[in-house]
Amino acid sequence: MSAPTPDEVTVVHNPTASRFEAKVGPHLSVADYVLEDDRIIFTHTYVPTALRGQGIAEKLVRAGLAFAQVEGRKVVPQCSYVDSFIQRHKEFQGLL
């Protein structure tokens, strides 16, 4: 399987499972969250080994942060990837 380009990866919000998902072939990548009051708590980001380094985690987190912005929620980055992503991308720090 050739590596997908970032444009070929589609992120879907699955509110029933409380996560953002990206399916590439048989592999499922996720960014899990919990909604609590006016906050969204990102608890875990997972990308299968075969797909790492292709920007999928970034796409998942960007979708989650866009959701938080639209919903007017504050972000609690319990997941280390989400935390480091926000630290690297200053435009999202206002969500903390």
pLDDT per residue over 37-74, tens digit each? Answer: 999 999 999 999 999 999 999 999 999 999 999 999 99
Q: 64 with 55: CB under 8 angstroms?
A: no
Whether the predicted pLDDT of 86 surpasses 90: yes
Q: Is the pLDDT of residue 6 over 60?
A: no
With DSSP H G I counted as helix, E B as strand and the rest as coil, what are the percentages for the chain, rounded to 5?
40, 35, 30
Report how far apart, in Å, the C-alpha atoms of 78 and of each of 7, 19, 25, 41 are. 28, 14, 28, 7
Residues 9 and 23 sit within 8 Å (Cβ to Cβ): no
* 71 in Cβ contact with 38 (< 8 Å): no
The structure's pTM equals: 0.91
CATH no. for 6-95? 3.40.630.30
